[in-house]
Chains A and B, each alone.
Chain A
Amino acid sequence: MTASSNDMKSSRRAFLRGALAAGGTVAGASMAKAAGPDPLITEVQPWASGLGEGVDATPYGLPIKFESDVVRRNVEWLTADVISSINFTPIHALDGTITPQGCAFERHHSGAIELSKKDYRLMINGLVDRPLVFTYEDLERFPREQHVYFCECAANTGMEWAGAQLNGAQFTHGMIHNMEYTGVPLRTLLAEAGLDAAGDLSDKWVYVEGADASSNGRSIPMDKALDDVLVAFKANGEALRMEHGYPARLVVPGWEGNMWVKWLRRIEVADGPVESREETSKYTDTMADGTSRKWTWVMDAKSVITSPSPQAPIRHGKGPLVITGLAWSGRGAITRVDVTVDGGKTWQQARLAAPGQPMALTRFYVDHNWDGEEMLLQARAHDETGYVQPTKTQLREIRGLNSVYHNNCIQTWWVKPSGEAENVEIS
Chain B
Amino acid sequence: TPSDGPLGIGRVALPEEVTAWDVDVRPDGTGLPVGSGNVLDGDELFQNACAACHGVFAEGVDNWPKLAGGEGTLNRDDPLKTVGSYWPYVSTVWDYVHRSMPFGNAQSLSADDVYAITAYILYSNDLVDDDFVLSNENFTEVTLPNVDGFFVDDRDTVELPVFSQEPCMENCKETVEITMRATVLDVTPDQTAAREAFQAEEAAEAAAEAETT
Question: Which of A's residues lie within 8 Å of B, judged by CB?
Answer: 9-10, 12-13, 68-69, 71, 73-77, 79-80, 83-84, 109-110, 123-126, 129-135, 138, 141-142, 163-168, 171, 191-194, 207, 209, 213-215, 217, 265-266, 268, 270, 272-277, 280-281, 284, 286, 288-298, 300, 310-311, 338, 342-348, 376, 380, 385-390, 394, 398, 401-402, 414, 422-427
Contacts and interface: CB of A to CB of B under 8 A. Distances in A.
B187 interface: yes
Given A123-B21, A164-B182, A427 B188 contact: no
A142 B17 CA distance: 23
A130 B14 CA distance: 10
- For the residues of A in contact with B, the DSSP-based class is loop
Contact of B87 (A265, A281, A402): A281
Q: How large is the interface on B (under 10, 10 to 19, 20 to 34, 35 or more residues)?
A: 35 or more
Contact of B27 (A275, A284, A292): A275
Given A275-B89, A398-B159, A343 B9 contact: no
Given A79-B63, A132-B11, A344-B176, A280 B87 contact: yes
A74 B96 CA distance: 26
Contacts of B17: 123, 133
22 contacts: A76-B189, A77-B187, A80-B64, A83-B104, A109-B100, A123-B21, A130-B12, A133-B17, A192-B3, A193-B3, A274-B25, A276-B92, A276-B96, A277-B95, A277-B100, A288-B75, A293-B150, A342-B176, A347-B167, A387-B160, A402-B78, A423-B183
B140 interface: no
Given A272-B28, A293-B151, A296-B153, 7 more contacts: A13-B209, A163-B185, A167-B188, A275-B88, A295-B152, A345-B172, A422-B181
Closest 4 CB pairs of A and B: A290-B75, A290-B74, A343-B176, A192-B5
A213 B209 CA distance: 53
Nearest to A401: B77
Which applies to chain B's interface (DSSP): helix, strand, loop or mixed? loop
Contact of B168 (A69, A125, A347): A347
Given A293-B150, A386-B164, A388-B165, A207 B6 contact: no
Interface in B11-52: 11-13, 17-18, 21-22, 24-28
A294 B187 contact: no
Nearest to B107: A213
B202 to A, nearest CB: 8
Nearest to B60: A80
Given A387-B164, A401-B77, A414-B178, A296 B24 contact: no
Nearest to A397: B162
Interface string B89-129: 10110011001100110110000000000000000000000
Contacts of B53: 80
B13 A123 contact: yes
A422 B183 contact: yes
Given A9-B205, A280-B88, A388-B163, A73 B189 contact: yes
B141 interface: no
B41 to A, nearest CB: 23
Contacts of A277: 92, 95-96, 100
B211 interface: no
Contact of A168 (B155, B162, B180, B188): B188
A127 to B, nearest CB: 12
A69 B177 CA distance: 33
A131 B77 contact: no
A345 B185 contact: no
A389 B167 CA distance: 10
Given A288-B75, A295-B152, A401-B77, A276 B95 contact: yes
A333 to B, nearest CB: 16
A300 B195 contact: no
A121 B181 CA distance: 49
Contacts of A76: 189
A411 B107 CA distance: 43
Contacts of B6: 191-192
A110 B100 contact: yes
Contact of B163 (A68, A142, A387): A387
A214 B102 CA distance: 10
B9 A275 contact: no
Contact of B11 (A133, A272, A385): A133
A426 B153 contact: no
A402 B79 contact: yes
Nearest to A390: B163
Contact of A388 (B167, B173, B179, B183): B167
Contacts of A77: 187
Residue with the greatest number of chain A CB neighbours at <10 A, chosen from B106, B163, B176? B163
A115 to B, nearest CB: 14
A404 B95 CA distance: 24
B20 to A, nearest CB: 9
A235 to B, nearest CB: 22
